[in-house]
């Protein structure tokens, strides 16, 4: 019942399962204020979707989520277009490198492995850091101390770099090298993991660039639209791994799920949300790690030479 054939993945999936997956990820993304790519791509891979198709299709889904998010942030004046432009420039460079790298790895039969390994490293370390930070915040809140505020105005090594530029919206005068590097890294991750990269961009912008948190959120989600759109386009053009039918199902589910997620998120406190998110990130990392370490039921695998 409700089976639907995916033209590029060339398998038949359950329509309701894919809509439900889109809605679940959309719900969690809306609740935590993240793109949800880091959950969606692994879930797709667990649903027998080939890794490279999961990545490209996941990126396409994030375009939808970040357009909605940016519109909401834009109205609140939280988008620093100038900073976003620099991040996008770096992001495009990173995306091109990442897509070509994935193409090469797929031909060598190692795409699945490297995608999984990268997921384990990133999700594992970020999940652990987030959990540590949020547990400390919860403890401090319980002890009646104020939740730590961002220290600003400190002079760190980043301020010594050349090519300085003024960013009036963010009230910053810094070198464009750090945002460019952050952009490249995010572009690489987006093309490689099918994620928006907010989970690495947001802390980097807060702690390294010392941008105001509200501007960080608006600007990062603005940048994610362009980077994931470029990633989608590059994967479709160079690797033929975008499945539009699958993307459409996930997008429709995501639109619905996202609305409920935002409302659910407003009922939880910030540090509790972060602790929950951290636990989820760690769970995903462990699940992927388990598949890498456990003895596979079949040691052999076959793929068409053309890849797919």
Partner 1 sequence: MRAATLFLALLLTALIGAPGFAQQTPPLPAEKPESKETVQSDISTREIAIQSNFTGIEILIFGSVDFSDSRTPGSGTYDVIAVVRGPDEPIVVRKKQRVAGIWVNGPGKTYDNVPGFYAVLSSRPFRAIASDETLKELGIGLSELDFGRHIPSESQEQAFRTAMIRLMEEKELFKEDDDGVTFIGRSLFRATVALPVSVPTGRYLVDVYLFRDGELASESQGTLEVTKAGIEAFLYTLAFQHPFVYGLLGVLIAVLMGLIGWYAFRRE
Which residues are near partner 1 by CB under 8 A? 3-5, 7-8, 10-12, 60-61, 63-68, 71-72, 109-110, 112-113, 117, 225, 229, 232-238, 240, 242, 244-245, 247-248, 251-252, 254-255, 258-259, 262, 292-296, 298-306
SS3 call for 13 = strand
Identify which of residues 172 and 229 has a Cβ nearer to partner 1 in the complex.
Answer: 229
Identify which of residues 209 and 224 has a Cβ nearer to partner 1 in the complex.
Answer: 224
Residue 252, exposed/middle/buried by CB under 10 A (0-12, 13-18, 19+)? middle
The minimum distance between CB 118 and partner 1, in angstroms, equals 13
The minimum distance between CB 39 and partner 1, in angstroms, equals 17
Nearest to 221 by CA among 204, 203, 238, 197: 197
CA distance 35 to 41: 11
Within 13 Å, how many C-alpha atoms sit on residue 127's CB side? 19
The minimum distance between CB 69 and partner 1, in angstroms, equals 8
Nearest to 99 by CA among 244, 238, 223: 238
Angle between helices 111-142 and 270-293 (to 10 degrees): 150
Identify which of residues 67 and 280 has a Cβ nearer to partner 1 in the complex.
Answer: 67
* 110 contact partners, CB below 8 Å, separation of at least 6: none
Identify which of residues 178 and 187 has a Cβ nearer to partner 1 in the complex.
Answer: 187
Q: Which two tokens stand for residue 25?
A: 């990820």
Identify which of residues 71 and 161 has a Cβ nearer to partner 1 in the complex.
Answer: 71
Report the alpha-carbon angle 243-291-19, nearest 5. 35
The minimum distance between CB 120 and partner 1, in angstroms, equals 10
Identify which of residues 185 and 252 has a Cβ nearer to partner 1 in the complex.
Answer: 252
The minimum distance between CB 190 and partner 1, in angstroms, equals 13
The minimum distance between CB 251 and partner 1, in angstroms, equals 5
């Amino acid at each position: 019942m409700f089976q639907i054939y995916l033209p590029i993945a060339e398998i038949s999936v359950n329509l309701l399962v894919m809509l439900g997956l889109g809605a679940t990820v959309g719900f969690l993304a809306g609740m935590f204020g993240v793109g949800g790519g880091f959950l969606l791509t692994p879930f797709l891979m667990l649903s027998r979707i080939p890794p490279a198709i999961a990545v490209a299709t996941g990126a396409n889904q994030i375009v939808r989520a970040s357009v909605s998010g940016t519109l909401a942030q834009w109205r609140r004046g939280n988008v620093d277009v100038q900073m976003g432009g620099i991040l996008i420039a770096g992001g495009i460079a990173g995306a091109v490198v990442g897509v070509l790298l994935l193409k090469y790895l797929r031909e060598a039969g190692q795409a699945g492995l490297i995608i999984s390994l990268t997921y384990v490293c990133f999700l594992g370390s970020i999940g652990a850091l987030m959990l540590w930070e949020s547990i400390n915040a919860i403890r401090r809140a319980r002890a009646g101390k104020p939740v730590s505020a961002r220290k600003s105005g400190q002079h760190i090594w980043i301020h010594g770099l050349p090519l300085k530029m003024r960013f009036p919206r963010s009230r910053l005068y810094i070198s464009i090298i750090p945002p460019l590097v952050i952009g490249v890294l995010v572009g690489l991750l987006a093309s490689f993991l099918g994620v928006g990269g907010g989970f690495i961009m947001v802390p980097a912008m807060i702690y390294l660039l010392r941008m105001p948190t509200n501007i960080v959120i608006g600007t990062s989600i603005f940048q994610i639209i362009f980077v994931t759109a470029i990633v989608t386009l590059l994967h479709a053009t160079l690797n033929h791994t975008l499945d539009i039918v699958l993307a459409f199902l996930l997008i429709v589910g995501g639109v619905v799920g996202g609305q409920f997620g935002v409302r659910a998120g407003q009922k939880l406190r910030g540090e509790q949300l972060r602790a929950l998110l951290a636990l989820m990130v760690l769970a995903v990392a462990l699940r992927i790690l388990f598949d890498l370490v456990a003895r596979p039921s079949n040691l052999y695998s076959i793929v068409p030479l053309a890849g797919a």
